[in-house]
Structure 1
Amino acid sequence: MSEQTFAAVQTPSSTPVRRPANGVWRQGWRRFARSRTGMLGLILVLLVVATAVVGPFVAPFDPQDQSAMIDPGAKAPPSWTHPLGTDRMGYDVASRVIYGAPTALAVGLGAMSIASLIGVLIGGVAGYRGGLADEVLMRFTDFFLVIPMFVVILAVVRLLGVAIVNTPFESVPYLNLGVIILLIGMFSWAPIARMTRAEFLRLKHQEFVEAARCIGATSADILFRHILPNALPSLVVIIALGIGGAVLAEAMIGFLGFGDPAAISWGQLLYFNYEALKVAPWASLSPGGAIFVTVLGFNLLADGLTDAFNPRAKS
């Protein structure tokens, strides 16, 4: 045996283990680009993102400015001055819908960031360790799967909600936007954890993981450099679905009247204008359409990602 061959055998760690993650992403993007459903969802999501970023700079009115109210023009129909009409208070509906886009994206991305962090951590440990740790963590995950999120949110509103005076005789509690994001995130991680566990169980015995283990890679290195990058394609799909679900959950909280009044959201616009649905339907249909487009965009995006990264599921 030559010295070079002997050195290569004695120091196998000098040869990096090739991981298929980059190839999976490249092939997945090619299949995604051919998916009409996925591209339509991507266009809708980019439209919402562009509205959230650029919209506040081009909105015709400041939604919180009292000067934007036109007293004789409350519930005014759409016009050149107000493309989507005005609500029951006389505010410009188009401006308020535009300013609601950043709130929707902040809730969706913030809540799913929290859910992803918790879900990947618990599911990854359960799938990689197995045994008793897997059993305990999965039963803990099942507990969060069956908890009704909105019942818990209503209880938190009663316990931690800040009361604002609505009339001289009653007060209405509400939740801060940060608390809403935290609650949605804390009750949305269970599906991500189960998906992560399934992916880790599938990948931990693959050849490239066994090769990394043979050359002395640590458990953290195997988890974060070898298994997790290859599990991300499947996780991205469920996270994209979760973002749409988080946006819808925040809209439902706002529609129930528990949203943060300091943050303009589409759910609150529905809450303040649903009583005038017969008189001024544009004030309710506009934020409802914005919620529909946003949730539909993320759902179609998730469908396209499913076709891209799991082509067998389509067939």
Structure 2
Amino acid sequence: MAVAGTAPAPLPAAAARSGALRIFLRNPAGVAGLLVLLALGLLALLAGHLFPGDPLDMVAQPFLWPGADPAYPLGTDSLGRDVLAGIVHGARVSLLVGLAAAALSLVIGTVVGALAGYFGGLADALLTRLVELVQTVPGFLLVIVIVAIAGPSVSTIALAIGLASWPTVARLVRAEFRTLREADFVLAARSLGYRSRRIIFAEILPNALPPVIVTISVMVASAILIESALSFLGMGDPNVVSWGSMIGAGREVLRSAWYLTALPGGAIIVAVLSLNLVGDALNDALNPRLRQA
């Protein structure tokens, strides 16, 4: 917002969105990454229709190599389970965990960082110590402890990853709020008598979100990798199939049936690489200097 005698916000919201979208669409790597992610998301949504049975069911003879049977294009594993069905259903689990964990991290980190950066003083000192306390524990170790105590399930894994990842968002949001809290549009909002809650969430937060959005894309990728690592170690949800659990199941026959680890591993690489490409493109698109160029 802006009033007479004060400097306006850097760009109107509509113009900023239009400029960011235009820059994003000019990035072929970012567009390609987005298309791949949309395809993976569509596969995850349609997994129950494409492969209506339980992906953990034994449907054919074990160790069918990819291409050996048209009914199972990617072959079967050591128990005769369809590898393609497992990868498609695994996309649902891996993407769900990644998105849920990133969303939880975003909520907690944004609230903590906004309060610390806006109010400063004692609130900033206490919340910063809290962030530092959480960061003293290795993230993956914290996730393992939470999952071991609460029991392995998709919801528990997503919760554990989210609780271990929010300090990154909190630090970033705090830094943005410390920069923006003395901006002209914030001073104008205070002069109009706006309450702190409205200034935080309606005035400052929208201007602090661009770098956070870029970080979230990376956090989704990290959450997918952490879930895969947990499943590989046997700490994933035993009632569902995920890319990590498929890799873990195939490691014992790596020499004789390497495709059982290579195919789900390739799915993880494609998903993480696509998220990183989208994150890089968003970083360019949301850079205010590029928008104004």
Q: TM-score, normalised by structure 2?
A: 0.90
Match for residue 107 of structure 2 among 111, 117, 120:
117
CA pair 291-303 structure 1, distance change in 2 beyond 3 A:
same
CA contact (8 A) 1:76 1:280 kept: no
Q: Which moved more, 1:22-31 or 1:231-240?
A: 22-31
2:41 matched residue in structure 1 = 49
SS in 2 for 1:188: helix
| Number of equivalenced pairs | 282
Which residue type is aligned with residue 142 of structure 2? V
Report if aligned partners of 1:41, 1:297 keep a CA contact under 8 Å in 2: yes
1:281 corresponds, among 258, 278, 282, to: 258
One-letter code aligned to 2:16: V
Look up the equivalent residue of 1:77 and give its one-letter code.
Answer: W
Is the 8 Å Cα contact of residues 120 and 193 (structure 1) preserved in structure 2?
Answer: yes
Q: Which runs of 5 or more residues in structure 1 are unaligned?
A: 1-11, 162-174
Q: 1:162-193, CA deviations, whole angstroms, 9 ceiling, x for partnerless residues?
A: xxxxxxxxxxxxx1221111100000001100
Shift of 1:53: 1.2
Q: Check conservation: 2:55, 2:89, Cα contact below 8 A.
A: yes
Describe how 1:1-315 pairs up with structure 2 within 5 A: 20-59=12-51, 62-66=54-58, 68=59, 70=60, 73-79=61-67, 80-161=70-151, 175-310=152-287
Deviation at 1:211, TM superposition (A): 1.3
- C-alpha separation in 1, matches of 2:150 and 2:187: 50
- Alpha-carbon distance change, 158 to 57 in structure 1, aligned in 2, over 3 angstroms: closer
- Percent pairwise identity: 39
CA distance in 1, matches of 2:77, 2:289: 48
Q: How far apart, in 2, do the equivalents of 1:156 and 1:190 lie?
A: 17
Q: Is the 8 A contact 2:231 2:242 kept in 1?
A: yes
Question: Shift of the alpha carbon at 1:21?
Answer: 3.5
In structure 2, do the counterparts of structure 1 residues 156 and 201 end up closer, same or farther at CA, with 3 Å as the change threshold? closer
After superposition, the Cα gap between the structure-2 partners of 1:304 and 1:108, relative to the gap in structure 1 and judged at 3 Å, is same
Q: Distance in 2 between matches of 1:30 and 1:157?
A: 42
* 1:5 corresponding residue in structure 2: none
CA deviation after TM superposition for structure 1 residue 257, in Å: 0.5
Q: Give the Cα–Cα distance (whole angstroms) in 2 for the partners of residues 311 and 81 of structure 1.
A: 51
Q: What is the letter of the counterpart of residue 133 of structure 2?
A: F
Give a deviation string over 1:43-101, Cα, whole Å, max 9, x none: 121121111112331238641334x2x2xx21111122211111011111001100001
- Structure 2 gaps, min length 5: none
Q: Determine helix, strand or coil for the equivalent of 1:261.
A: coil
Q: TM-score, normalised by structure 1?
A: 0.84
Cα separation, 1, equivalents of 2:142 and 2:55: 31
**Residue aligned with 2:46, SS:** helix
Cα 1:59–1:219 change in 2 (3 A) is same
Find the aligned partners of 2:249 and 2:113 in 1 and give their Cα distance: 41
Residue by residue over 1:95-132, the C-alpha shift from the partner in whole angstroms, topping out at 9 and shown as x without a partner, is: 11000011011101111111111000000001100112
Q: Is the 8 A contact 1:77 1:86 kept in 2?
A: yes
One-letter identity of the residue aligned with 2:57: D
SS of alignment partner, residue 84 of structure 1: coil
Q: C-alpha distance in 2, partners of 1:158/1:28?
A: 43
Distance 2:174 2:155 in 1: 29
Deviates more, 1:222-231 or 1:54-63: 54-63
Bigger Rg, which one: 1
Letter in 2 for 1:46: L
Residue 238 of structure 2: SS of its match in structure 1?
coil
Flag the 1:101–1:63 CA change in 2: closer, same or farther, 3 A.
same
Deviations 1:252-297 (A, max 9, x none): 0000011011121111011111111111111111110111111111
Superposition CA RMSD, Å: 2.0
Greater displacement, 149-158 / 116-125 = 149-158
Over 3 Å counting, the alpha-carbon distance change for 1:38 and 1:218 in structure 2 is same
Amino acid at match of 1:84: L
